[in-house]
Structure 1
Amino acid sequence: MNRLSYGVMMKIKPADDKKILELPSQFFETIKYKNALVILSPDTETVRIIPTEGRKVCKILINLSGKISTNFLRGLKNFFEETRIKTLYTSGLCMKEKECVYEFYCPAESIDKNQLTRKLEKLGGVKNIEIQTLS
């Protein structure tokens, strides 16, 4: 039988900084990777688990000087097409009228941080770029 998703209820608790998440064995009939990016969205208390091949992921945060515009989104689309960076997760948020951020996560092995920063700074409305490596 084809399934759209799997669901399981689990107890959650702090793990004393052990970065190990155990999933039911049936999940590994589909998941082939040993590493995962785990993202918490604080506003909704949603946790996303994104299996990935590599052991390192980069979080790129683009701080904008204004709203997320259609020109920025077109430029971002062109950036992704040109660089062929595989995104694991993307999100955008405007906290105030003039404070917006766009973030994405990608495998660290696929990027050159300096080159990436230069290309992203060329997009309209970019105030600054922050890149953090997660491992």
Structure 2
Amino acid sequence: MCISASPNRDALFLCPDFIGGISIRKRNNRVVVHLNDTELSKLEQDTATAGMCREKYIRLALMGITIHPRPPDSYKKVLLQLSAYGNNLNQIAHVVNATGKVTTDQLEKALNLLEKTWDYVEDTL
């Protein structure tokens, strides 16, 4: 059995290496790396910025994958709102395509939605 730190690093939990004599680990090779305080601090900062554990961060870095900072939690709300604005614009476009005509009211609604979208993105991000 191994002892692993939980994601919040406040508590420890046990994880079994074997169940019924069969290894359940997909990664059976362990590598120990010694870091000085500066290197460990940099690793902790980078993993927190990326929003992932040390092990995953190191594996991705070894594979040459570019690791980007985790987007803020507010991005989900922004995407949902932008999706709603996009759906409204799509409905207007569908009516215009079906009828082949555009009214001033439809154009004003579309322009208003585009302005709301731009303002929302500017205010949120």
TM-score (normalizing by structure 1): 0.22
In terms of Rg, which structure is larger?
2
Q: Could you say which structure has the higher strand fraction?
A: 1
Higher relative contact order (CA 8 A, sep 6+): 1
Q: Could you say which structure has the higher helix fraction?
A: 2
TM-score (normalizing by structure 2): 0.23
